[in-house]
Structure formats: structure tokens, C-alpha cells
Amino acid sequence: MDISANELKERLDKGEALHIIDVRDQLEYHTFNIGGVNIPLGKLTTGIDDLEFDEEDELILICAHGIRSKTAVQVLEQSGFTNVRNLKGGILSIRKLNS
């Protein structure tokens, strides 16, 4: 299921403690990010067993445009995670809200 940039921004502005996983490469992450843990998609697919989240936790996956994070959502769902959301439009949609 997707989450919109507006909904995510509202929840962050309220101070909600969210489990955000940014699946972009480290360089992209360090250039601009909204927090969360940086686990590049390649590492996520090989390190699912190392994740420190419960399978029922809401996980919000983000990337630049929403394509890699959509793939990450599918990978996590196939591994048994049941509450995984993709940021529609990616980090660019958040940046547009802030401009």
C-alpha cells in the first residue's frame, strides 16, 4: 500500500515515531534525507534476516522516485512483513512539498 507525501509529512510534523527505510544508495541518502535508516536495496534483499523490525511493524519504504522502494515493499512482503508502505513519488514528492 502506498503512502502519500502529504500524509508522511503530516505524521512526521506531529512527531510520530515512524519506521522509515531509505533504500537509496549511501551517496543519495547523505545528499538529502528525511531521516530513517539507510539500507540500500541491494543490501536489503540479502539482509532481511538482519532487520530489527517485527513483521507486524509499519515500515515506510522510500527512494528517489518510488520505484526501488516499491520493489523493496514486494521483497519484504514476500518475507512475511505485513504492514509495508511505499512513499508514492519518492523523496522528490517530499522535496516538492518543502519548496
Put residue 3 in one of left, alpha, beta given phi > 0 → left and psi -120 to 50 → alpha: beta
Report pTM. 0.95
Nearest alpha-carbon partner for 36 in 50, 47, 22, 25: 22
Q: Which CATH number fits domain 2-98: 3.90.700.10, 2.30.110.10, 3.40.50.10860, 3.40.250.10?
A: 3.40.250.10
State the 10-residue block means of pLDDT for the chain, 99 residues long: 96 96 97 94 90 95 97 96 97 88
* Domain range summary for the chain, segments of one domain joined by +: 2-98
Q: What is the pLDDT of residue 98?
A: 72
pLDDT computed for residue 49 by the predictor: 85
At 69 the pLDDT is 97
